[in-house]
Structure 1
Amino acid sequence: MIQIQAISFRRGTKHLLQDASATLFAGHRAALIGRNGCGKSSLFALIRGELEVDEGEVLVPSQWRIVSVAQETPATSRSAIDYVIDGDRHLRQLQTELAVAEKAEQGDEIAHLHAELAQAGAYDVEARAATILDGLGFSQQQLTHPVSDFSGGWRMRLNLAQALLCPSDLLLLDEPTNHLDLDAVIWLEKWLQRYEGTLLLISHDKAFIDQTANHIISVEQQSLVTYTGNYSSYEKQRAERLRLQDIEYQKQQQKIDHLNSFITRFKAKASKAKQAQSRIKQLEKMEALMPAHQDSSFRFGFSAPASLPSPLVGLEDIALGYGEHRVLEEVKLNLVPGSRIGLLGRNGQGKSTLIKLLAGELAPQLGSFTLSQGCTLGYFAQHQLETLDPEASPLLHLQRLDKKATEQDLRNYLGGFDFHGDAALAPVAPMSGGEKARLVLAILVYQKPNLLLLDEPTNHLDLEMRHALTLALQTFEGAMVLVSHDRFLLGAVCEEFYLVDQQKVAPFKGDLDDYKSWILSKQTPSTVTHDSLSSTDTGPKENRKEQKRLEAEKRKLLHPFKQLLSQAESQMDKLNLALADIENRLADNSLYLDENKTELTGIIAKRAELSQSLEEVEMAWMEAQEALDNAEADFDATS
């Protein structure tokens, strides 16, 4: 087992861990969690013996084989599969010794080495390597391509494949899903569930941790706190512990009220669709777990867009590709305010290509692409991190956008993205990937978009920032298209899923569990189309066109009713906040002294006035909800 005994460790002048202890038993699968910069990767380096503690001890059995993912990949001419096998240095050493023995015709040594190679798995290593590479998204043809042909993200997948192939007693994985898409993440989960050694992983993907970990080691206030169970269990345990301590619990009531309202609204309109029901369950769970995130440093949300034209975007018979290579054909999609679409599909099928079209980075080869005049685009993709001015500060980036805003207002805004004090004035160049991603999101949110295009927005973000982003997206009033390997985010904010497969983009009727089953079973697209896709894939072309027209017409019809609901909910939030302030004032015992009688009378009268207003707004909300339901039912009946 691994024993971390009362260690203290600092980097520069910053204390990362102080008198921290934890134990990880053989065979356990633990996730190491905590905000970016708290010392998780440094703890990995301590376990590997690359760093030394200031105080205490980190004890790892000397006979354990420790394997982690290399962070650098040389631009070698070695083929992908050979490079992966090279990671098993013991096996490669035995193969070298065998070649020497065969050249010297040493019969006994040759027999001995063959026995050792068999024990090391040499005779099926290529098959095992090919299986791993296939699971991580490499095609059969790519196995023989030189490493130098692959981009940085794909080289990181090769490094991950190396680590998975090597025999190990302790496997250390630092953000293994960062360069993977959803189908590769699902495959990696299944692989890790079968892993027989001890696993310690750093991840900010809740769903991934839930599927792979049975213990959580949380970095909290420079200490290590161990929880039994997966991430969902950790949230419950931590929430209960914080409830008992009542640490700043009241600060979260406003967010819980908002979430309650969101859940109620969604429940009222939800059909019996499986994905709708699973989303309701997820949102209800989030409410109970809010206290587990109450000490988060992130506070932000999307302001109402200046306008919400409908439709925002229209795609008709679009063909997309690069040169002669056609990626997508016959794409039809209308985006109206309230559209919340998650794109699913295997790597390379065209999800990011579709996003690039919507963002104006790629022109259609065929078809009609209509962008509303009032469309304000908010586009997030990983390459945008490199477009930041390396010499400018977060504050200067925003000042360039809004020259009229005061410095204090902009600093207050940046504080919601955890750029406090000097961090708001520091240059971008030395920032981590997570800090750059937060700044790009801060810039995006500040511009009040009415169309959001998010291509893997959670890469490099820690758990608390992902949680804050999820809450913010739930209140976004415009249209959204999301590509992500984070299933928690997809399930919490998307109301529709589209499958991008075999050059087509079609509605996916199932939920994310159905998609996971499809990926793992490697169903043929025709089978999935029959069971899981809309009938638009099997009907005549005219039927598909008619169904798309009806869907767009329905969204347009229901939009005014949804706006009324949104306005009522906003008023309810304000009134509830004002009433909470009144109740806090009434809890002050000094208010009931004789000399404060006049003030008390005024406060009581104000409470009655606010309560009456709240009752009226709630009634208006119920009427708006009933009108929405009736309009939806009438439309369905007539169409």
Structure 2
Amino acid sequence: MSQINISQLTFNYENSYHKIFEDVSFTIDSNWKLGFIGRNGRGKTTFLKLLMGLYDYSGVISSSVNFEYFPFDVPDPSLSTIFIVDSIFDDYEPWELDKELSLLKLNPEVLNRSFETLSRGEQTKILLVALFLKPNSFLLIDEPTNHLDLDGRMIVSDYLNKKSGFILVSHDRNFLDGCIDHVLSINKTDIDIQKGNYSSWAFNKQRQDQFELNQHKKLKQEIGHLKTAAKRTENWSQAIEKSKKGQRVSGLRPDRGHIGHQSAKMMKRSKSLEKRQEKNIQEKEKLLKNIDWSASLQLKPQRYKKERLISINHLSLFYDERQIIKNFNLTINQGDRIALIGKNGSGKSSLLKLLLGEPLTFQGDLIRGSQLTLSHIPQETGFLKGDLRRYAQDQNLNESLFKTILQKLGFSREQFEKDLASFSEGQKKKVYLARSLCQPAHLYLWDEPLNHIDVLSRIQIETLLLQTPPTMVFIEHDRSFIDQVATKIIELS
């Protein structure tokens, strides 16, 4: 057992005045299974890279263990998978490798295939196997679930539960609950470590937020009283000043001799009281900023003229001349929130594209209502570039509403000035989310909308979809989100 010590860590990116971390200190046990939680853009990946020594910083990071970052870079994916494993670490016994493959339910046959022919989920599992083979290593696992389906997430969560010594960045609540014993959270004003899983952390956070909300109400009243007192002091000070100059106050002629003796002393007292009141107000207003607000979002779905929007009967769908869906039936009625689930490659995204009207090859009946307005969130984010204002104009969005939604999802005003191409994957996904929320539509088609999206934003979106329920079809692998939002679950096999 050893410890990782972070002492007075301060870091900001070059040409940025905003500090990602400022005078941060805490200690991590190298045997912990640590979940890492925080808003997109708060610095989770940055912190992992600081541990790896990739950036210059002030302060001290000390540890007796080696850090290994996941996902490991694979320069030549055309090489055999066993060669990729050995390039990461080759000093292992064959039975050790077989054991790790078995835990992740991987057929040893995959070792003989080129790495690029494996599915993204298989690649994720292989890299985890290779890294956990290395002794005396503390793994920094950055969002491993993005290419895992529901079954894959359960398998990897069970696998990590049998391991120790890692920091795991993930936004999937069920996944975290299955494999961590501590939570490291980057909050709005501090960094906190708690023992337990995600659910215990969320329970404690809810209690803390409620406490701060109550404090917020109480402090607002106290600040109001202080400001009233400060105003009285200001009026008193002005009255004294008028008296000293020989002006009438409330119709009375002042006693110049008496005031000449007392005015300096009283002015000094009033100024001192003003300063104390102003300092008290500022200190209390700072306390109001400790809660990490999850502002409510808005959505204005349109009601279609008929109850039924789309019907599909005996559909067979083809991709590159390969049949991926056979004899499929689906009816989308007003108010349905349909979750499409299934293993990667089962045709979920292709079905969504067909609903969008893309020219895919199919057989069977697809009846789409006339004048149906759709809003779509794509799975990939690599096409975004340019500035937010131009993007809003190109998409015919209300720029003010668009930016307000992004702020509620955790964007800072500084972020609005940056090029979209420089955004993190989570921030890019939020741009697509904000665009869709700005678009009144009869039907919302969302393809993995929560990829890279932080936990707090997921909860905001869940709350919105339950309070203002749209008609939608979505693909998602977050079990908690599906259970909360979906009115129907359709599994493709």
TM-score above 0.5, yes or no: yes
Q: Secondary structure at the match of 2:194?
A: strand
The Cα offsets for residues 535-564 of structure 1, whole Å up to 9 and x where unpaired, read as xxxxxxxxxxxxxxxxxxxxxxxxxxxxxx
1:123 pairs, out of 71, 81, 94, with 94
Say which structure is richer in strand: 2
What residue number does 1:482 align with?
Answer: 474
User: Does 1:238 pair with 2:205?
Assistant: yes
User: Does 1:462 pair with 2:454?
Assistant: yes
Q: Is the 8 A contact 1:340 1:495 kept in 2?
A: yes
* Unaligned runs of at least 5 residues, structure 1: 92-119, 252-290, 502-639
1:145 pairs, out of 94, 113, 129, with 113
The Cα offsets for residues 330-370 of structure 1, whole Å up to 9 and x where unpaired, read as 10110001112222222222222322222223535210011
Q: Is the 8 A contact 1:87 1:163 kept in 2?
A: yes
What residue number does 1:110 align with?
Answer: none
The Cα offsets for residues 490-536 of structure 1, whole Å up to 9 and x where unpaired, read as 111012222222xxxxxxxxxxxxxxxxxxxxxxxxxxxxxxxxxxx
User: Does 1:398 pair with 2:392?
Assistant: yes
Q: Taking structure 1 as reference, are residues 386 and 51 closer, same or farther at Cα in structure 2, changes over 3 Å only?
A: closer
Consecutive aligned runs of 4 or more in structure 1 exceeding 6 Å deviation:
151-154
Matches within 5 A, 1:582-601: none
2:160 pairs, out of 179, 189, 192, with 192
- Aligned-partner Cα distance in 2 for 1:167–1:151: 27
The AA in structure 2 aligned to 1:180 is: L
Q: Is the 8 A contact 2:85 2:127 kept in 1?
A: yes
The AA in structure 2 aligned to 1:245 is: E
- Aligned-partner Cα distance in 2 for 1:337–1:219: 40
1:3 pairs, out of 2, 5, 21, with 5
Matches within 5 A, 1:260-271: none
Q: Secondary structure at the match of 1:373?
A: coil
- Aligned-partner Cα distance in 2 for 1:425–1:309: 43
What residue number does 2:245 align with?
Answer: none
Q: CA deviation at 1:86?
A: 2.9
The Cα offsets for residues 170-215 of structure 1, whole Å up to 9 and x where unpaired, read as 22211111222211111001101111x3221111112211111111
- Aligned-partner Cα distance in 2 for 1:193–1:413: 37
User: Does 1:345 pair with 2:359?
Assistant: no
- Aligned-partner Cα distance in 2 for 1:359–1:140: 40
Say which structure is richer in helix: 1
Q: CA deviation at 1:165?
A: 4.0
Q: Secondary structure at the match of 1:333?
A: strand
- Aligned-partner Cα distance in 2 for 1:126–1:201: 22
Q: Is the 8 A contact 1:328 1:350 kept in 2?
A: yes
What residue number does 1:300 align with?
Answer: 297
Q: Is the 8 A contact 1:248 1:294 kept in 2?
A: no
What residue number does 2:178 align with?
Answer: 211
What residue number does 1:328 align with?
Answer: 325
Q: Taking structure 1 as reference, are residues 328 and 249 closer, same or farther at Cα in structure 2, changes over 3 Å only?
A: farther
Larger Rg belongs to: 2
What residue number does 2:382 align with?
Answer: 386
The AA in structure 2 aligned to 1:198 is: G
Q: Secondary structure at the match of 1:178?
A: helix
Q: CA deviation at 1:37?
A: 2.2
What residue number does 1:73 align with?
Answer: 74
Q: Is the 8 A contact 1:69 1:173 kept in 2?
A: yes
User: Does 1:359 pair with 2:356?
Assistant: yes
Q: CA deviation at 1:299?
A: 4.1
1:48 pairs, out of 27, 41, 52, with 52
Q: Secondary structure at the match of 1:124?
A: helix
The Cα offsets for residues 433-456 of structure 1, whole Å up to 9 and x where unpaired, read as 112111111111211122122221
RCO higher in structure (CA 8 A, sep ≥6): 2
User: Does 1:163 pair with 2:166?
Assistant: no
Q: Is the 8 A contact 1:342 1:482 kept in 2?
A: yes
- Aligned-partner Cα distance in 1 for 2:404–2:72: 36
What residue number does 1:220 align with?
Answer: 187
Q: CA RMSD in A?
A: 3.0
What residue number does 1:317 align with?
Answer: 314
